[in-house]
Structure 1
Amino acid sequence: MSELLTPATLLAHWQGHRCLTRRVIEAFPDDQLFSFSIGGMRSFGRLGWEMAGTVANTLHALEHDDWTGKGVDEGERTSTKAALLDVWDAGTARLNAEFPRYSAQYLGTEQDMAWGWGSPMRFLLYQIDNEVHHRGQGYVYLRALGIEPPPFYVR
């Protein structure tokens, strides 16, 4: 891993995205978060649970070198904004507590990632990209509901 992207800068970058995504979740009316969709796509609440689950899966994978995505109980996924935000906040706290233990060397180590050859860093960057992609869908939904989404540049 280059000095430009250290584990600490990666964590700060990821947490910045997570902070913005949390604000997008908060912007949804309670009655629309899990019900509104366009063109048969998933609701932003369902996408939110998927994104929240990536933290537990990622930390499990880092700790156990198990990149299959199996073996993590994500708990019950209710259809309330409060429950989603509680899990989101717990994931933020876990990332802050646990991610700093992983070295740049480990994050850059190429290995079999169950879906192909790569490094934990590539996986983490994919997770961030996936969150940005899903958040973009949330922005479209909010605009369709007549709600101004949070500024994307404020993290």
Structure 2
Amino acid sequence: METAQLTESTQPVLSPDQLFAHWQGHRNLTRKTIEAFPEAELFNHSIGGMRTFAELVMEIIDLTGPGIEGIVTGKWKTMDELSHTTCNYPKTKEGILAVWDETTQLLNELAPQVTTTRLNQTEAAFGMYEDKLYSTLLYFIDNEIHHRAQGFVYLRSLGIAPPPFWERF
């Protein structure tokens, strides 16, 4: 079976603006999920040896901020430079939400610079993951959804109802 290649003349299903708006909807829901956590459990609760939700959130932040910078500039941090790999991240819920909001602002500022042409270029994100940038961007979104779902499980295990998954705005 032959795989269709996206070309400059191909009409995208979503424009970059629509794709980033979709991502921001997921980010809004993930922020609500962070807010739902009691402070101590955000940093200490885990199940079956999985990372805490604070650690998972920092991974999402690291993929989003340095990820959008890499997509826009072509300059990528290495994995060793990211906060979630160095444990260089806030130790309070308020601090994590502040970094989350700063990252959201960065995404809002840089996303309009991303074109369909740029998304069709191939690069090694973080010096490791070579793929078309649209695929890398979809990975960032998928990764966030995956980790947010872990957060939902943690919340339910604490007797807390997670925010409705369909309320992204």
Corresponding pairs, count: 155
Kindly provide the amino acid, as one letter, of the partner of residue 107 in structure 1: L
- Hey, what's the Cα distance between the residues in 2 that align with 1:82 and 1:116? 32
Which of 64, 78, 91 aligns to 2:90? It is: 78
- Hey, what's the Cα distance between the residues in 1 that align with 2:95 and 2:129? 34
Q: Contact 2:124 / 2:130 at 8 angstroms: preserved in 1?
A: yes
TM-score by length of 2: 0.83
Q: Contact 1:57 / 1:69 at 8 angstroms: preserved in 2?
A: no
Q: Contact 2:42 / 2:93 at 8 angstroms: preserved in 1?
A: yes
Kindly provide the amino acid, as one letter, of the partner of residue 139 in structure 1: F
Kindly provide the amino acid, as one letter, of the partner of residue 145 in structure 1: L
- Hey, what's the Cα distance between the residues in 2 that align with 1:151 and 1:127? 21
Which of 9, 15, 31 aligns to 1:6? It is: 15
Which residue does the alignment assign to 1:105? Answer: 117
Kindly provide the amino acid, as one letter, of the partner of residue 136 in structure 1: A
Which residue does the alignment assign to 1:128? Answer: 141
Q: Contact 2:64 / 2:140 at 8 angstroms: preserved in 1?
A: no
Q: Give structure 2 stretches of 5+ with no counterpart.
A: 1-5
| RMSD of equivalent CA atoms | 2.1
Secondary structure in structure 2 of the residue aligned to 1:32:
helix
Structure 1 consecutive aligned stretches of length 4 or more whose deviation exceeds 6 Å? none
Q: Contact 1:108 / 1:119 at 8 angstroms: preserved in 2?
A: yes
Change (3 A) 1:116 1:130: closer
Q: Tell me, yes or no, if structure 1 residue 90 matches structure 2 residue 90.
A: no
Kindly, what percent of the aligned residue pairs are identical?
A: 42
Cα drift, residue 4 of structure 1: 2.0
Q: Contact 2:69 / 2:110 at 8 angstroms: preserved in 1?
A: no
Which residue does the alignment assign to 1:56? Answer: 65
Q: Contact 2:61 / 2:100 at 8 angstroms: preserved in 1?
A: yes
Which residue does the alignment assign to 1:15? Answer: 24
Which of 23, 27, 33 aligns to 2:42? It is: 33
What does 1:114-125 align with in structure 2 at a 5 Å threshold?
Answer: 114-115=127-128, 117-125=130-138
Secondary structure in structure 1 of the residue aligned to 2:40:
coil
